[in-house]
Structure 1
Amino acid sequence: MSRHTLTRLAALLGTAALSVTLLGVPAQADTARVDPVRYDPVRPGAPASKAATTVRVPGSFTGYGFDACTAPSQAVMDRWREASPYSAVGIYTGGVNRTCPQPALTADWVRTQARRGWHLLPIHVGPQSSCAVNREFPVEMSLDRTTAEQQGRTEARTAVTAARALAIAGGSTLYYDLEDYDLGPDDCRQAALSFLSGWTKQLHGLGFRSGVYSSIGAAITSLDLADRVSAGSYAMPDDIWFAWGNGRADTRTDSRVQSKRWDGHRRIHQYRLDIVQSYAGSAIKIDQNWVDVGRGSVASRSPRLCRGVNVDLRRYPALRRGKRGAAVEAVECLLRKQRFTRVKPDGRYDARTVRAVRKAQRRLDLKVTGRVDRRTWVALLSRGTRPLLKVGETGPNVRRAQRALGATLGVRVRVDGVVTVRTAALVRRFQKRERLPQTANVTDVTWRRLQAGG
């Protein structure tokens, strides 16, 4: 950003009255001219009404994402699903300034990615600012604010048509890509705000949610200032997606975003741009993003496996006949839930417990001793299905993996049902110890090693 622009922004932030004037609205804003939001804000992540044929995106997620100029082939998407840390992907669905070909991007492609666990981020690249930084675009938005707002509405209708053709359902968030531009000239800044306001109003009218992608120092700064000093003068997007190449995988901002409007899982941060990464032999040039949308990755409350018994222990000690206490109750609970015994947990390691442990060890192909060692704990704690788990995944399968990792590594693990960056680090540590591919994802081979006793 130029020194001239920074000086001008400092002046903008100096007094609210001056800020309102430069934003292009009267000091006493006539908020009646802003269209009411005429849509029912569909809960993000809920299934679409025609779930068999359409998908609502991006859903609820907190974790890693990437965007690439061209939607990757199915083979590449499958390889990256297994081997990469990413679970969200930005796709360029349309717009007059979209430059890359999209041979793979079809409705079937969208349905397949959603079914396989990807969170899709639809991006529309329409008219750009005439004050764009360091490049020119074939189609630019008008500097007349009324015309610019109508152009924003037109682009929203076009984006919705493209989204529906790709089986993207109402209630989805569509992101407008407004590339970096100079905030100094009043006409450019005001036209962009009017354009994005039209975009948001029309999307809401058509039953979609609005997102805006831009440099943190361009449209994002301008939207934030408008929301704080002239609330109601422009329709604000539901989500923001800011480019700020600081290398930090989070959604924290600096003084350029002070409004609280986009707190609470309404942000995406593009933190590293134009890098080439390769997973499972497939290389792509991408931008890296940290995504926090919908309700975020928050696990629902998990019922106890057995009434009154806690299996989320600080440590999983070796046990043998004669032992008593909470750890014995926990292993008895696991044995009962997995049908190795019908005896209810009582916290006493007696002959019945020994028989159940021996039965489990035979079934799990472990050394049959009747005593509970580390391998027996890990095999019991991890037993079940083997779904792929990556950063951002939630649910009871995550809890199984977290318990087993704590037992096999001998560390205290927070069992909360969410794969966090910390959880992924423990997965990688286990994979390194076991000489498995270090993806930091709980893959099928990782599950199998855990279920064999780790």
Structure 2
Amino acid sequence: MRANLHVNLHRPARLAVVAAVVVAFCATLLTGGSADAAPRGKDGLTGYAFDARCAPTQEQMDAWLTSSPFWGVGVYIGGSTASCRTTETDPGQPHLDATWVSRQRSAGWRVLPIWVGPQAACSAYGDLIDPNPAGEYAAADARGRAEATAAVARARELGVASRTTLWYDLEGGFDVADEDCRRSALRFLSGWTEALHDLRYRSGVYSSISAGIHVLDNADNLSPGSYAMPDQVWFAWDNNRADVDVDPRWVRKDSWEGERVHQYQLHTAATYGGVPLTIDRNFLELDAGSQAPRTLLACGRTDLDLRSYPRLRTGRSGDAVKALQCLLRKHAGYRARLDGRYDAQVARAVTKFQRRHDLERTGRTDPATWTALFARGSKPLMKVGSSGDAALRLQRALRASGPRSVKVTGVVTDRTTRAVARYQRRLGLDATGVVTTDTWKALQTGAH
């Protein structure tokens, strides 16, 4: 995936593109042709992904799972232009099979399957989209459908489930002002999308923001309905910014909101867990992104997110005590009213919790007790994009352990992982920012 990012349209060429697309729109009003709705996606995610073209070994994937910021991995699954060969006798993709895909999904990876077939007619690749305009570029449409059918067959061999997005890699570096080249590419991608929808998969397109993605957005803007649009886009824009913001010179700000991947750094060497790979770095927001819990309140309407978590003892009262009572109800069998008063029952429940979790048994609530109370529960692997109850527990435990800079949202962000790395560093753990079992154990024992 090496999209050329230096395509530019001067004003006369832009006007020619606009005129051509308007003509296409008028023709489409006569012929119709909108695609069926795409199958719905699920499991929204906002976070980091990498693509290395060829599937890494299982050992490499395992090392990166627990030490890198990435949740997503892009991998070529086939197509005439896809190759992992280093020599003519190299079979290519020696590690990619259904077992590999299943293992990554079970571990928590989001696999992004990429198909690399014929390229734009005016590009320099060997296999090209047919630019013949006959029948509204019927040959290009048919080829797009055939590529989608082949991609689905391969995806099914690999155990890639329906409703998954299959990504078509249309490399940049082609002349978007060349009408037949541009329109045949659009018709090809439209056929790809319609065929995928018919086969119950979702459609994604990878290309340069200033080439393929710009052409798609321009067509959708000026002639809506002329072409079936992909459900998600993956745009190459080597600006070193890990976000999904687009350049309005090329793509409208509201196009594919919540359904974008940004390839922001190309062909870079990276090492995680002592394992080096050469990768492209991506930031993604797919299926509307990672979602925060509906409410941050607990025990009915109790607010657990205080400005500070003070030391408490018998005789104290207020919101902090009420938050403590709520946590004790969840983790220490406290059954009395949440009245905000630190009485003998609260002290006994605190002592009970401290005894169960190897904390100093004082009956008083200190930072270690707050941290352990918030962290109690399962110990899932967490990185940027992780969300839900575990994210709330993590963020609250980090706040209780010392730094107040952690914002409690229920979605792990870069800010959260920086706080995790600081916490790990203080305790002598590997400061990866990835929340592993060791980090959870430290939090659940009140280490701070």
Taking structure 2 as the reference length, the TM-score comes to 0.91
Q: Which residue does the alignment assign to 2:113?
A: 122
Q: 1:70 aligns with which of 31, 54, 75?
A: 54
- Superposed displacement of residue 318, structure 1: 0.9
Q: 1:91 aligns with which of 64, 68, 75?
A: 75
Letter in 1 for 2:144: G
Q: Which residue does the alignment assign to 2:88?
A: none
Q: Which residue does the alignment assign to 1:6?
A: 8
Q: Which residue does the alignment assign to 2:164?
A: 172
Q: 2:224 aligns with which of 228, 231, 253?
A: 231
Over the residues paired in the alignment, what is the CA RMSD in angstroms?
A: 2.0
Is 1:44 the counterpart of 2:41? The answer is: yes
SS of residue paired to 2:26 = coil
Is 1:104 the counterpart of 2:95? The answer is: yes
Give, in whole Å, the separation in 2 of the partners of 1:21 and 1:366.
73
Letter in 2 for 1:143: P
Q: Is the 8 A contact 2:112 2:166 kept in 1?
A: yes
- Superposed displacement of residue 44, structure 1: 0.7
Superposition map of 1:322-401 within 5 A: 322-401=315-394
Q: 1:79 aligns with which of 63, 78, 83?
A: 63
Structure 2 vs 1, CA of residues 256 and 201 (structure 1 numbering), >3 Å: closer, same or farther? Answer: farther
SS of residue paired to 2:310 = coil
Structure 2 vs 1, CA of residues 27 and 302 (structure 1 numbering), >3 Å: closer, same or farther? Answer: closer
SS of residue paired to 1:196 = helix
Give, in whole Å, the separation in 1 of the partners of 2:28 and 2:65.
49
| Residues 212-238 of structure 1: per-residue CA shift (max 9 Å, x gap) | 101111111111111111222222111
- Superposed displacement of residue 338, structure 1: 1.0
Structure 2 vs 1, CA of residues 362 and 224 (structure 1 numbering), >3 Å: closer, same or farther? Answer: same
- Superposed displacement of residue 340, structure 1: 4.4
Moved more, 315-324 or 102-111: 102-111
Structure 2 vs 1, CA of residues 359 and 149 (structure 1 numbering), >3 Å: closer, same or farther? Answer: same
Structure 2 vs 1, CA of residues 369 and 187 (structure 1 numbering), >3 Å: closer, same or farther? Answer: same
- Superposed displacement of residue 259, structure 1: 3.4
Q: Which residue does the alignment assign to 1:436?
A: 429
SS of residue paired to 1:102 = coil
Give, in whole Å, the separation in 2 of the partners of 1:410 and 1:260.
36
Moved more, 181-190 or 220-229: 181-190
Give, in whole Å, the separation in 2 of the partners of 1:269 and 1:317.
43
- Superposed displacement of residue 33, structure 1: 2.7
| Residues 89-137 of structure 1: per-residue CA shift (max 9 Å, x gap) | 11111101111111111112212211211111110000112322xxx32
Q: 2:395 aligns with which of 399, 402, 413?
A: 402
SS of residue paired to 2:27 = coil
Q: Which residue does the alignment assign to 2:246?
A: 253
Q: Is the 8 A contact 1:12 1:22 kept in 2?
A: no
Structure 2 vs 1, CA of residues 425 and 335 (structure 1 numbering), >3 Å: closer, same or farther? Answer: same
- Superposed displacement of residue 85, structure 1: 0.3
Unaligned runs of 5+ in 2: 85-91
Q: Is the 8 A contact 1:238 1:262 kept in 2?
A: no
Give, in whole Å, the separation in 2 of the partners of 1:226 and 1:438.
47
Q: Which residue does the alignment assign to 1:49?
A: none
Q: Is the 8 A contact 1:329 1:348 kept in 2?
A: yes
Give, in whole Å, the separation in 2 of the partners of 1:2 and 1:111.
34
Structure 2 vs 1, CA of residues 168 and 31 (structure 1 numbering), >3 Å: closer, same or farther? Answer: farther
- Superposed displacement of residue 326, structure 1: 0.8
Give, in whole Å, the separation in 2 of the partners of 1:2 and 1:387.
39
Q: Is the 8 A contact 1:157 1:203 kept in 2?
A: yes
Letter in 1 for 2:153: T
Fraction of identical pairs, as percent: 46
Give, in whole Å, the separation in 1 of the partners of 2:374 and 2:57.
37
Structure 2 vs 1, CA of residues 34 and 96 (structure 1 numbering), >3 Å: closer, same or farther? Answer: farther
Q: Which residue does the alignment assign to 2:283?
A: 290
- Superposed displacement of residue 309, structure 1: 2.1
Q: Which residue does the alignment assign to 1:113?
A: 104
Structure 2 vs 1, CA of residues 24 and 328 (structure 1 numbering), >3 Å: closer, same or farther? Answer: closer
Q: Is the 8 A contact 2:5 2:211 kept in 1?
A: no
| Residues 312-366 of structure 1: per-residue CA shift (max 9 Å, x gap) | 2221111111100110111112112113433232211112222222222222212
SS of residue paired to 2:70 = coil
Moved more, 439-448 or 293-302: 293-302
Give, in whole Å, the separation in 2 of the partners of 1:234 and 1:37.
8
- Superposed displacement of residue 153, structure 1: 1.1
Give, in whole Å, the separation in 1 of the partners of 2:339 and 2:9.
72
Taking structure 1 as the reference length, the TM-score comes to 0.90
Q: Which residue does the alignment assign to 1:140?
A: 128
Give, in whole Å, the separation in 2 of the partners of 1:2 and 1:409.
45
Structure 2 vs 1, CA of residues 168 and 349 (structure 1 numbering), >3 Å: closer, same or farther? Answer: same
